[in-house]
Amino acid sequence: MKTNGPALLMTRPRDAAQRFLDLLPADLLSDLRVIHSPLMEITALPSTLKLDDTTAVVFTSGAGVRVASERMAERQVAYCVGQRTTEAALSAGWDARFCGETADALVASLLAARPSGTLLHLHGEYTRGAVVDRLAEGGLSCRGQVIYRQDLQTLSAEAEQALGAQLPLIVPLFSPRAAAHFASLCPKTAHLTLIAMSDAVAQAMPRLQSGALKVSKAPTAEAMADLLRDVAQSVLWVETDAPKE
């Protein structure tokens, strides 16, 4: 692992960050210093979860799956956004159904399938896509419940030092809220290559818009990993192999 030169700044919670790192080639990680600075902490809320009046749940995040599964013994049908969220729900014992990679895709899928009974969207304090409202407007019975908080965190000392020293940093960002928070903490002099999971993520950090901003072709961890691999190879070449003037 390099102690100077290009580094990879991971801003996701440690478990999610590690799952993402596992998608990257080992030889690439051997050339990059990995700096962890989680910008969000997931905290389960002490609410009672009851599925008595529901026929299925909706999960739009892995955190929702984890918190619900820790708090509830009962399992039922779960409509999920994202392949990884679906896999996590399956592993936790839910009858999980993949409904696309975005909230828009999930809403369209459920409005087309029109499942009977009441749906329960289990989510965090901050959620995007207006899933419950759009399903209700489409004639489905749906309600939501907040089951965890997403508390913003400050940069780690290691991340602050790297940003202040203007080290070349590759920063993958996965949500608009995390991107906006990172932009608010980032010094103007930082040497960044930003990788956004979607256009919405990119648009959340207008102060950091530059030619070094790349947007993933699909809102999946796998597509982000593919893009990061290509970007990192270019950055490593420029920083370590390109001729110096």
Distances 68 to 48, 62, 196 between C-alpha atoms, Å:
10, 10, 28
User: What is residue 31's predicted lDDT score, i.e. its pLDDT?
Assistant: 87
**How many Å apart are CA 205 and CA 177, to the nearest integer?**
9
Measure CA 41 to chain center.
Answer: 12
Distance CA 156, CA 152 (A): 12
Low-confidence stretches of the chain (pLDDT beneath 70): 1-5, 209-211, 237-245
Return the closest-CA partner of residue 63 out of 178, 169, 157: 178
Partner residues linked to 124 by β-bridges: 148
Q: What is the pLDDT of residue 211?
A: 62
Is the separation of the CB atoms in 109 and 133 below 8 Å? Answer: no
Tokens representing residue 223 in the block: 């597509």
The pLDDT, as a whole number, for residue 54 is 92
pLDDT at 243: 46
Q: CB neighbours of 23 closer than 8 A, spacing ≥ 6?
A: 221, 222, 225
Residue 152, classed as helix, strand or coil, is strand
Nearest in space to 233 (alpha carbons), one of 9, 23, 28: 28
Q: Which two tokens stand for residue 50?
A: 């009851």
Q: Which residues pair with 80 in a beta bridge?
A: 59, 98
Indicate the helix (H) or strand (E) that contains 38. none
| Predicted pLDDT at 210 | 66
Q: Give one word for 93, left, alpha or beta, with left for phi > 0 and alpha for psi -120 to 50.
A: left
**pLDDT score recorded for residue 237:** 58
Contact partners, residue 115, CB within 8 Å, separation at least 6: 55, 56, 77, 79, 140
Bridge-based pairing of strands 191-196 and 213-215 is parallel
Q: Given this model, what pLDDT does residue 128 score?
A: 87
Under a CB-based contact definition with an 8 Å cutoff, are residues 66 and 87 in contact?
Answer: no
